[in-house]
């Protein structure tokens, strides 16, 4: 396992041929390919290609990996353009396109297009989110 104390700043497309543990964040507008698992605090990059992701927040354009497990490790948000993986397990997701076999989300899945081959479990699944009609609720006045 390759361990980096502090942040990993990507200055070019990077390939790591083992598991990666970063005691900090992964930053940089480049691609990261890990032949193994990623364990870190936050990821901010263009594309991620790995086996498993274990972190707090993911903010990138594309994710291509085996599993994203964020429930047990307290991942609050996944925010990206496309997700393509076998299993997703997290609290909240906010994505344009989701393509996966199984998805288990604790609260809300917000997406424009979704394709789930197995099952999707969520309290609320909002498809075509950019065309959902806005609702306005006014506070009721109470009389004394």
pLDDT in tens, 36-51: 888 888 888 888 888 8
pLDDT in tens, 74-84: 345 566 677 77
C-alpha distances in angstroms, 29 versus 13, 84, 122? 9, 20, 31
pLDDT at 72: 31
Residue boundaries of the structural domains of the chain: 2-131
**Burial class of residue 125, CB neighbours in 10 A (0-12, 13-18, 19+):** middle
pLDDT at 76: 53
pLDDT at 86: 73
Mean pLDDT for the chain? 77
Residues 6+ apart with CB under 8 A from 78: 57, 58, 63, 68, 70, 88, 90, 92, 93, 94, 95
pTM above 0.85, yes or no: no
Query: What band does 113 get if pLDDT is binned at 50, 70 and 90?
Result: confident
Confirm if 57 and 71 have CB atoms less than 8 A apart. Answer: no
Residues 6+ apart with CB under 8 A from 83: 62, 63, 68, 93, 95, 97, 98, 99, 100
Higher-pLDDT residue of 144 and 139 is: 139
Tell me which long-range contacts 71-78 makes (C-beta under 8 A, separation of at least 24). 71/104, 71/106
């Amino acid at each position: 396992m390759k361990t980096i104390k502090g942040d990993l700043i990507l200055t070019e497309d990077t390939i790591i041929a083992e598991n990666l543990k970063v005691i900090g964040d992964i930053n940089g507008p480049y691609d990261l390919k890990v032949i193994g698992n990623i364990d870190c605090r936050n990821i901010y990059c263009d594309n991620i290609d790995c086996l498993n992701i274990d972190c707090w927040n993911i903010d990138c354009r594309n994710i291509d990996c085996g599993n994203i497990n964020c429930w047990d490790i307290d991942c609050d948000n996944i925010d990206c353009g496309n997700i393509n993986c076998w299993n997703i397990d997290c609290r909240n997701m906010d994505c344009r396109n989701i393509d996966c076999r199984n998805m288990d989300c604790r609260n809300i899945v917000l997406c424009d297009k979704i394709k789930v081959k197995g099952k999707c479990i969520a309290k609320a699944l909002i498809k075509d989110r950019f065309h959902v009609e806005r609702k306005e609720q006014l506070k009721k006045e109470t009389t004394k």
